[in-house]
Amino acid sequence: MSDRSRWFVPTEWLAGRLDDPDIVVIDGSWHLPGQGRDARAEYDKAHIPGAIFFDIDAVADTGNPLPHMLPTPEAFAAAAGALGIDERQRIVVYDSVGLSSAPRVWWTFRTMGATDVVLLDGGLPEWLAEGRPVTGAPASRKPRVFRPRFDATAVFDLVGVRDGVADGAIQLVDARPRPRFLGEAPEPRSWVKAGRIPGSLSVPSSDVIADGTMATPEAIAAAFAKGGVDLSRPVVTSCGSGVNAAILTLALEMIGVEKSGLYDGSWTEWGGRDDTPVAVGDDNGD
């Protein structure tokens, strides 16, 4: 277990540093298809003063049909630099839900080589609840040079997941709500089958969140234990499209599991193919 300040900063801390040129504030909001929310439009209406909007669907491998897949390090560096961000700054990420898509942005910057990336505790809801200022004014920063140092060990693809689960080298932990994991609820993307990757374990991301922020280390450990996860063995996180999986990656790091991987394509890739097995029903169905 480690000091929470390694991963989160309080709203009071950020409020006093909005003009610090060495601190970059990022609105990393994103919403599932079908939720009827437009993260960019919401940002344009009200965001933390000076915050840059980071669109995970635009800073992505746009040539890949899967949603918000990681771009190449070179493409990411160009996009981050154009936004006025470099790898040496302190990067503070928040989202409009509290703790939802911001961990995906945290994970992305970390994977690309940024070393000082934290999340705003409570996100935009906490900021608003405290009556802190927001603006609709466009934010911009002078371009910088982002020098990427890509951590390939943080990212798993379909082959790595398939082989790792088959030979027991990894535990694949699914962050989706349990009805979707069991195949009892439809996926947000109509072309993706219902169900899960055979052999995967269920730890819904909501089980490690409390009041819009990360739960206590004890509650996090209990959630993984309930899901049957052995924290002494390698873990790879997954979800619908690699967003909520990052919540579990963050949670694991906060309880001392610092080298977990994330399946970038997640269930949208696996469940959208005709050549991958699917499990449904209770855990005994695997």
Q: Supply the angle between the helices 102-111 and 245-254 in degrees, to the nearest 10.
A: 70
Supply 95's token pair: 């989202």
Catalytically active residues are: 239
Per-residue pLDDT of the chain (286 residues; tens, 9 = 90+): 358 999 999 999 999 999 999 999 999 999 998 888 999 999 999 999 999 999 999 999 999 999 999 999 999 999 999 999 999 999 999 999 999 999 999 999 999 999 999 999 999 999 999 999 999 999 999 999 999 999 999 999 999 999 999 999 999 999 999 999 999 999 999 999 999 999 999 999 999 999 999 999 999 999 999 999 999 999 999 999 999 999 999 999 999 998 899 999 999 999 999 999 999 998 644 5
Distance CA 154, CA 112 (A): 10
Domain boundaries, the chain: 4-150, 153-285
pTM attached to this predicted model: 0.96
Architecture of domain 153-285: 3-Layer(aba) Sandwich (3.40)
CATH topology of domain 4-150: Oxidized Rhodanese; domain 1 (3.40.250)
Distance CA 201, CA 193 (A): 18
Distance CA 13, CA 120 (A): 9
Tokens 């949208």 sit on residue: 268
DSSP E strands, the chain: 8-9, 23-27, 52-53, 90-94, 117-120, 155-156, 171-174, 201-202, 209-210, 213-214, 235-238, 261-263
Q: Do domains 4-150 and 153-285 have the same CATH topology?
A: yes
